[in-house]
Structure 1
């Protein structure tokens, strides 16, 4: 007697259908020792709402003619979210987010606020999901699996595109080492700063400031590009490498 689905949350509530023959007028459906609520019944099927439980239990259907052979039903605990990385992404979406935890193997969806997307399950302890397009702001990240739902302890921040209004000083030595103060907006999630395509050591000081150490570079004028989880922006003007 097939049962579908054959797993559900320890808290109960799963809609389960058992199929077979001579099932009309079922008097009881048991999950272990607990009775399920019958919601529909025909000669070939019984639909029920699973009660709460734990582990693996025998499921049986009883009619006036007797009781069916047992079918196993597997209770799954709710998922647990341990980590989310990164914790921010652009308003246009497209960022690959890794969620780690426990009980993630049966994950069916991940919600970013009210926007629901389908994840890629890597293992019971990890899944990846591509962030959807969303208005800038802070949203809750919620994982839904067969065992229930889990909300990440950290929120996900949807970040608008950064801006750069200027930087100082405007020049530096080819050997590098000049500390450059970059100002703008939306800079707190900076992930990279380049000078003429060369990666610089940097630190995001606030949403309006990033400090970067100009890397070694040949003589000439180069563009400074700041990349954040909200996107990339080229600073106005150029930084000039010249001899001292």
Structure 2
């Protein structure tokens, strides 16, 4: 009896061939060929009497998929459409490992994702959203066993070369541990991108700065999270929350909000063009100053207190603005310094 073909997945792919297809039906046990139109598919693998995989040959237009076995060739009309769109390319999957329970949101980056119809983790399809032609967000599907699987993206242009994802044994239900926040200072308005390092971050549901949630964060791996600071003030404790609990405080897990320095007076307010003379700068929020400039030229300086620092004037000409900068920002317009 001739084989019966009931479906082909995916049902479209690149005209250059190379698309891995899954053919379903009955009577496949002794299959000897899969053809798309008159062209024979490559890499025929009979998985069972009802399931065959094969790789499409080059082609064009819409063709019929047939299976030939010892009893003849299938006669059902099961179309496959060749397209001229380029096949998708997957460059990275972040994170690339996680628990067998799945549920983690991961990001695929690459090219040619427009019109994606399928994201597969081995034989398991995953829920996904096409963010752009170069990015897909995907929810990792659960899997019964641990170990690596191949992840592919299918579009009208074909199927991407696979990247790997490793299913890990379920971790003990212990809270995450946050070790360090880098950088640990930023402006009051927030918006600083910080990197959190530690352990147990997979499945993180929140990053908080004291009680204020970060407006955005990305779990890069079980040990790294990037987050955006919310607006705030003072020194706050950063925490990571997962279904297993919330991280505790540590010596390097705080973040300090800084106001931008202000400059109010310069003493003296003038000096020689060859520079080298000390200038006392008065103002506020100098404790964490990282840079002093005379008209854009860096000047050596010593912090005396939060309201005073002493800078050595660099060479210059004319009348210039003196600015002080820290992680909180740069001072605005203030008193001027004149080179004589």
TM-score of the superposition, structure 1-length normalised?
0.60
Match of 1:204 in 2: 303
Q: Cα distance, 1:98 vs. partner?
A: 2.5
Taking the aligned partners of 2:314 and 2:286, their CA distance within structure 1 comes to 20
Taking the aligned partners of 2:225 and 2:212, their CA distance within structure 1 comes to 18
Taking the aligned partners of 2:172 and 2:285, their CA distance within structure 1 comes to 45
**Is 2:239 aligned against 1:239?**
no
**Is 2:296 aligned against 1:213?**
no
Q: 5+ residue gaps in structure 1?
A: 8-55, 57-71
Query: Structure with the greater relative contact order (CA < 8 A, sep ≥ 6): 1 or 2?
Result: 1
Q: Cα distance, 1:76 vs. partner?
A: 5.5
Match of 2:258 in 1: 159
Match of 1:114 in 2: 211
Taking the aligned partners of 1:105 and 1:203, their CA distance within structure 2 comes to 44
Moved over 6 A (4+): none
SS in 1 for 2:290: strand
Q: 5+ residue gaps in structure 2?
A: 1-99, 105-145, 147-168
Q: Which has the larger radius of gyration?
A: 2
Say if 1:85 and 1:99, in contact at 8 Å, map to a contact too. Answer: yes
Taking the aligned partners of 1:224 and 1:89, their CA distance within structure 2 comes to 22
Taking the aligned partners of 1:226 and 1:109, their CA distance within structure 2 comes to 35
Q: Cα distance, 1:211 vs. partner?
A: 2.6
C-alpha change, 1:143 and 1:174, in structure 2 (3 Å) is: farther
Number of residue pairs matched? 175
TM-score of the superposition, structure 2-length normalised?
0.45
C-alpha change, 1:237 and 1:108, in structure 2 (3 Å) is: same
Q: Cα distance, 1:115 vs. partner?
A: 0.9
Match of 2:225 in 1: 127
Q: Deviations over 1:187-225 (max 9, x none)?
A: 2122222111122233333221223222233x1111011
Match of 1:190 in 2: 289
Q: Deviations over 1:93-118 (max 9, x none)?
A: 11222222333344332101111113
